[in-house]
Structure 1
Amino acid sequence: MFNNIPPLTKNIIIINIVVYVVTNFILYAFQNFEFYFSLASYYPFSPFFKSWQIITSMFMHAPINDGSGLMHIVFNMFMLYNFSFMENILGGKRFLLLYFLSGIGAYVLFNAWEFVQVEIFATQLENLGFNIYEYFSDTAEVFKGSADEIATQKDLVSKITRIISTPLVGASGAIFGVLAAFATIFPNAKLDILFIPFPVKAKHLLIFTIIISIFLGYSDRGNDGGTAHLAHVGGALVGYLLARIWKKHINRFNQI
């Protein structure tokens, strides 16, 4: 079965598995958290952010003992395996372009929303007389005001701290780009989905998934669930746009 996977997709799956094993071994055997989090990606204005993380985080997944754990990478690699035929349809160069640009698009859209939230929280703090930028700088900013105002300030600071200190990991954004490209090129293809008793057209599944992801991404439930739903939307958007560009020339890909 593994031998039937196109070479680039196979290598991406292998790299994901190797990175998962190595990072978890270092994380739990040596209690070395720095290595794991240096490969995850962060909010671009976070002190933990490094430029390479935008790429390396695509090969990172939730630690084996944390939350979804092993199922995070198993589900992602299973989905990538099921749509590995897209490499044959697009050709290797276009498939790699699709995969990595979708992953980058996932990072950009997710953090664009995070930026909006930070600015909203910072403005609310400013209205309470609290400067969040001084708080995170060498200039010590102290909480002040009534008990309720101080409680509100601490809550807003906590939300901003969560945004800049929570890592983003996973290949989901890149994989959503591949799925969106498939649904764009083959919109009427029927897919059998677990727990759905009838085949679903790819275009309908994509639209439904995007709507649900946007809803969850903008809701409190989505933010607390540990899943970067808007990253999925970002990856899917890039996949859709690239597929729209390439769709007219799909029959010539294999000749290049």
Structure 2
Amino acid sequence: MFPVSDDNPEPGTPIVTWALIAACVAVFFWQMSLPPGADELAVYHYGLIPGVLFGSVAMADAPLPAWGTVISSMFMHGSLMHLAGNMLYLWIFGDNVELAMGRVRFIIFYVVCGAAAALTHAFLVPGSTIPLVGASGAISGVLGAYLLLYPRARVRVVFIPLPLILLRTFYVPALIVLGLWFVIQVVSGLGSDIEEAGVAFWAHVGGFVAGGLLIPFFKRRDVPFFHKPAPRVFDSRNQRRGPWG
């Protein structure tokens, strides 16, 4: 089960959300354009390496100071599926959070949540030389904010049972979708070896918690917590009649 859209329209244009998606896509195409070997080197140069950040490991010919990779790592991705999954979540949930804050505050919020996520991971493995890349930490902060602002919003999810011919889509409250997502991150983090390469579950947890803690300071004053979606309006004159008609 994973989300594909939400039914939570808000007036305004989420320019920053679109720009962040465009930037991540552009960086990924740049990564793919690099010759063999150079693409992997780019991940080491612009990904966050905890050992380098804390000074236990030196990076030769590093193009950025170690603290700069806290930000650059948010725009790097390891694969097309990695990129697509992150951008889908940002596209679904980022617009509402941006419009609830305003563009400038949303940019700051996004970067701070991404930094909190990256540092959560780095502090847990301070000597690691495995680079951390991906926007998921920052996006996790967006999810934490969305949960507190719009827990009753309807999120359209796809359920893929076996066999695949039974694929179904249905709406679920954001409280359930994002609450379950957070639980999965915690359980997965507890059950995995953080020292090994793979999904940085604790970065997701750190970003999500940061988003929930920071949202009171970043949202506009007129935006309430636990917002109740407006009832859907339809014109009965344009509806199809039932089979009994």
User: TM (normalized to structure 2)?
Assistant: 0.70
What is the match of residue 139 of structure 2? 175
State the distance in 1 between where 2:212 and 2:113 align.
Answer: 9
Contact 2:185 2:205 (8 Å CA) reproduced: yes
What is the match of residue 232 of structure 2? none
Percent identity of paired positions between Structure 1 and Structure 2: 30
What is the match of residue 234 of structure 1? 206
State the distance in 1 between where 2:91 and 2:214 align.
Answer: 21
Deviations for 1:84-117, whole angstroms, at most 9, x for unmatched residues?
Answer: 23222211022112211110010111122224xx
- Tell me which of 120, 136, 141 is aligned to 1:109: 120
What is the match of residue 157 of structure 1? none
Which ranges in structure 2 are unaligned for 5 or more consecutive residues? 1-11, 60-64, 160-167, 225-245
Contact 2:158 2:170 (8 Å CA) reproduced: no
Q: Which range moves more in the overlay, 191-200 or 232-241? A: 191-200
* Distance change in 2, residues 1:10/1:198 (3 Å): closer
* Distance change in 2, residues 1:114/1:36 (3 Å): closer
What is the match of residue 70 of structure 1? 80
State the distance in 1 between where 2:30 and 2:104 align.
Answer: 28
* Distance change in 2, residues 1:247/1:57 (3 Å): closer
Q: CA RMSD in A?
A: 2.6
What is the match of residue 164 of structure 1? 128
Q: Which has the higher helix share?
A: 1
What is the match of residue 188 of structure 1? 152
Contact 2:100 2:220 (8 Å CA) reproduced: no
Deviations for 1:139-191, whole angstroms, at most 9, x for unmatched residues?
Answer: xxxxxxxxxxxxxxxxxxxxxxxx62211000001111111111111122232
Contact 2:125 2:194 (8 Å CA) reproduced: no
Which ranges in structure 1 are unaligned for 5 or more consecutive residues? 63-68, 116-162
* Distance change in 2, residues 1:222/1:110 (3 Å): closer
Q: Which has the higher strand share?
A: 2
Give the letter aligned to residue 7 of structure 1.
I
CA positional deviation for 1:77? 1.2
- Tell me which of 29, 53, 56 is aligned to 2:72: 56
What is the match of residue 42 of structure 2? 35
CA positional deviation for 1:39? 0.6
What is the match of residue 108 of structure 2? 97
Contact 2:140 2:207 (8 Å CA) reproduced: yes
What is the match of residue 125 of structure 1? none
* Distance change in 2, residues 1:57/1:15 (3 Å): same
Deviations for 1:49-94, whole angstroms, at most 9, x for unmatched residues?
Answer: 82210000000000xxxxxx21111111122112223222211022
Contact 1:216 1:222 (8 Å CA) reproduced: no
Contact 2:106 2:218 (8 Å CA) reproduced: no
CA positional deviation for 1:18? 1.3
- Tell me which of 202, 205, 208 is aligned to 2:177: 205
State the distance in 2 between where 1:94 and 1:247 align.
Answer: 8
> How many residue pairs were aligned?
195
CA positional deviation for 1:203? 2.3
* Distance change in 2, residues 1:12/1:197 (3 Å): closer
State the distance in 1 between where 2:72 and 2:21 align.
Answer: 14
State the distance in 1 between where 2:42 and 2:193 align.
Answer: 30
Contact 1:191 1:201 (8 Å CA) reproduced: yes
State the distance in 1 between where 2:69 and 2:14 align.
Answer: 26
The answer on 1:25 being equivalent to 2:33 is yes
Contact 1:90 1:250 (8 Å CA) reproduced: no
* Distance change in 2, residues 1:215/1:47 (3 Å): farther
User: TM (normalized to structure 1)?
Assistant: 0.68
